Amino acid sequence: MDSPHTGRIVLVTGASRGIGRATAIALGKAGAHVIAVARTIGGLEELDDDIKREGGTATLVPLDLKDYPGIDRMAAAIGERWGRLDALFGNAGVLGPLTPVVHLHQKAWDELMAVNVTANWRMIRAFDPLLRKSEAGRVLMVSSAVARMNRPYWGGYAISKAALEMLTFTYAAELNGTKVHVNVLNPGPTRTRMRAEAMPGEDPMTLPAPEELTPLILEMLSPACDKTGELVAFRWP
């Protein structure tokens, strides 16, 4: 069966594990060419094997997203090779320490803002011209429910996700009336390394696996998605 993702060029950040990895595999299986970004080369290579096994194709980009000129170079290389970007899944993120805001160290704050906010701003800034060249450019940024919860000790992470949401909704409003649609995903608690780090006492098997989220993510990245400027939450049945 033909898939709406066939032949699309889709970039996934944080593709080495968790939600990003599951999404990259699902996209590859659905016929997209996946540009997979993360720091862990071993994780990217395993992902490549899995995508190939499903009959898909990928380009691996080992990159620390705090390397902002590296983001610009990646966009230039993608522009040269394909002339467009059809979808961007801005999924990479860090949790940082769960601690009162007054106990946060400068280094932890800087890392949270650098990865969760600034890198995503640099991504949309670098890829905007290529997304506009797509027949149906789609951007989906991954936030968290805590961005709107005022939860003690989660401040650093929550503040960074609230900023990411405002960045994404502002960009969506600026693109109103274009073929590029831009949305935010709240995945909800998902069985990944980050969740285990946040909730060490929790039984991971009570949570949905990342694979459960991929139908919703692929729907939001597909040309058929007519939403823009919206927050979409995953609900586990």
Please list the active-site residues: 157
Report the greatest alpha carbon distance in the chain.
54
Q: Name which of 59 and 134 has its Cβ closer to ligand NDP.
A: 59
Pairing of strands 138-142, 231-233: unpaired
CB 102 → ligand NDP: shortest distance, Å?
Answer: 23
Q: φ, ψ for residue 217 (rounded to 5)?
A: -65, -45
Interface positions, 122-181, toward ligand NDP (CB under 6 A):
142, 144
Q: Which of residues 50-109 bind ligand NDP (CB under 6 A)?
A: 64-66, 91-94
Q: Which of residues 3-22 bind ligand NDP (CB under 6 A)?
A: 14, 16-20
* Least distance CB 91 / ligand NDP (angstroms): 5
DSSP summary character for residue 153: T
Distance, in Å, from the CA atom of 32 to the CA atom of 224, rounded to the nearest integer, reads 15
Query: Which amino acid, residue 167?
Result: L
Q: Contact 209/186 with Cβ under 8 angstroms?
A: no
Name which position in 192, 214, 222, 228 contacts ligand NDP (CB under 6 A).
192
CB contact at 8 A, 28 and 59 = no
Residue 144 Cβ, how far from ligand NDP at the closest point, in Å?
4
Indicate which single residue of 189, 208, 223, 229 sits in contact with ligand NDP (rule: CB under 6 A): 189
Q: Are 213 and 187 in contact (CB under 8 A)?
A: yes
How near is the Cβ of 196 to ligand NDP at its closest, in Å?
Answer: 9
The residue among 146 and 223 lying less far from ligand NDP, judged by its C-beta, is 146
**CA proximity to 56, closest of 80, 84, 82, 26:** 26
Interacting residues with ligand NDP (CB under 6 A): 14, 16-20, 38-40, 43, 64-66, 91-94, 115, 142, 144, 187, 189-190, 192-195
